Amino acid sequence: MPAKWRWLLLPLGGWLALMIGALGWASFNGVMHVTSTNDFCYSCHIGSDTIVEEYQASTHFNNEHGFVATCADCHIPHEFVPKLITKIKATGDVYHQIAGTITLENFESHRPALAQGVWDDMTENDSRECRNCHSPDLWQTSLQSTRAQNSHNPAFWAEQDLTCISCHKGLAHALPQ
């Protein structure tokens, strides 16, 4: 190959790297999207436990406003790095599903620890996923019960060191036995 043609390899290599990078990024985003759909979540949970049925009976799925909060809305952060960390942690759940460690027969015995893990994460991140949909700045507390008005007072939260999940466990899924 003549020396003058070798200079063409540099921009061609750059374009090739750019195309491979773009394809890789698109594939990564596609996988992130598909693994954040209710259908993906249902593929392990429906019929093997009561999680899906509880969620579908909750106001997060079935309400007078017609708004549906998906599994991902509550369980997967919107921000990239926390989302990636959550997806990596979730590979442990996939492993236990494939390995048969958690089965239909023993799910309920694992459920308290699994729920506690979710509650701990939500407490640690100040119920970040709840706040993606429920903005305290937009609450119409005058329409809430007196108890809810008192509980939703930010001063009360700070004084009691509370976050959404502190009071709202068992809202979308039944509390474990």
Report domain extents, the chain. Answer: 41-167
Confidence of residue 148 (pLDDT cuts 50, 70, 90): confident
pLDDT value at residue 158: 77
CB 169 within 8 A of CB 104: no
Average pLDDT in the chain: 89
Tens-digit pLDDT profile for residues 12-65: 889 999 999 999 999 999 999 999 999 999 988 877 678 899 999 999 999 998
Span 137-146, mean pLDDT? 87
Is the pLDDT at 2 greater than 80, yes or no? Answer: no
pTM confidence score = 0.81
CB 165 within 8 A of CB 127: yes
Place of tokens 């100040």: 126
d(CA 118, CA 65): 27
Burial of 55 (0-12, 13-18, 19+ CB in 10 A): buried
List the structure tokens of 156. 């009360």
Distance, C-alpha 140 to centroid of its chain: 26
Tens-digit pLDDT profile for residues 75-105: 999 999 999 999 999 998 889 888 989 887 8
d(CA 70, CA 111): 20
Task: Identify the DSSP state of 36.
Answer: T
